[in-house]
Every structure is written in structure tokens, then in C-alpha cells.
Amino acid sequence: ADAGAHVFVDTDDAVHANHSFVSVTANAPGPRTIRLPRRCDVVDAFTDEVIARDVTEFTADFADMQSRLFFTGDAASWRGKA
């Protein structure tokens, strides 16, 4: 955060992000709180489940070494679904 970068998680997990997606690969099992740089809806890109609406952070559970991909934007625009 000191370099002006957004910190998505407080753990040593691999995170990749752009304006529309956040990918997290957990290095250990358990919940992760993921902080977003802007308020938005969050959709699990693999299951189409709406995880949260109009949030700046959310919590997701992870298995050991599990990767999860989240769409971050307007849930209604995710694959044309509401």
C-alpha cells in the first residue's frame, strides 16, 4: 500500500486483478477477506453465484491451493444475467 498499490488480501496468496476480475489462489485453506478498489457486485465466475452486491469487500472460503475467479462489476451485466 505504501507504493500506491491496492492491497486485496492480507495473506500471502497469489492475486491477479484487472477492472473486471479478481483471481485469488490460496496457499492454505480457510476464509479470505478480499478488499476491492471500488464498490461493486461480486459474482463467482465459475458457478455464476452472486457472492455479494454493492460492496467494497467480501469473504470467500478456499480449499488448500484453490483458485477462485470473481467478476467485479454490475451483476446484471455478468453474461447478461441478473
Q: Is 23 exposed, middle or buried (0-12, 13-18, 19+ CB in 10 A)?
A: middle
Residue type, 68: R
Cα end-to-end distance, the chain, whole Å:
34
Residue type, 80: G
Q: What percent of the chain has pLDDT over 70?
A: 93
Average confidence (pLDDT) over 39-46: 96
Say what the pLDDT of residue 46 is: 94
Say what the pLDDT of residue 81 is: 59
**pLDDT for 1 beyond 60:** no
**pLDDT for 26 beyond 80:** yes
| pLDDT per position as a tens digit, 47-73 | 999 999 999 999 999 999 999 999 999
